[in-house]
Amino acid sequence: MQPLKPISATAATLALTLATHASTTVVANRAAGITMTLPAATGTGAKYKIVVGTTVTSNSLKVQVANATDVMTGTALFGQDAADTAVLFETAADSDTITMNGSTTGGIKGDIIELEDLASGLWGVTVRGSATGTEATPFSAAVS
């Protein structure tokens, strides 16, 4: 089986689906940000990979769960721009959204978000990237 070609996302919103986006790479190519919505977590084991192809310069790149019961568990690791160090942020028990603003919370070209549908109501997440200024967590509870 040949690897799937990366999908370039350029619209303001994108509903990620198992059939189209799982097991491939979605490249976020919109400087004005994109809001991506995951499917409901059911424990399929499906994996989604999002790569920032264009640094966010306005608004934010957001990845959010589909409903008020799904949450994320995992970490975000950012290289700091002011030193040769890194900073690590953990999800909270109610985290359901990743927000990258092109600066303090990531969203810089080359950043990577990996998500896995672990169980009913639960997404595993790993974020690796860069941040500028005073780095801050990209995780929040924003879906109602």
Would 67 be classed as within a structural domain? yes
19 SS3 class: helix
CATH code of the domain covering residue 68? 2.60.120.640
Q: Please tell me the pTM assigned to this model.
A: 0.96
The structural domain count of the chain equals: 1
Domain assignment of residue 37, given as a range: 7-140
Mean per-residue pLDDT over the chain, rounded: 96
Residue 1 confidence (pLDDT) above 60 = no
| Residue position matching structure tokens 């990979």 | 49
**pLDDT one-digit tens code per residue, 54-86:** 999 999 999 999 999 999 999 999 998 877 899
Q: Does residue 2 register a pLDDT over 90?
A: no
72 in a domain, yes or no? yes
| Inside any domain, residue 1 | no
Asked if the structure places residue 118 within a domain, the reply is yes
CA distance 68 to 38: 12
78-130 tens-digit pLDDT: 998 877 899 999 999 999 999 999 999 999 999 999 999 999 999 999 999 99
Rounded CA-CA distance 66/76 in Å is: 21
Q: Is residue 2 part of a domain?
A: no
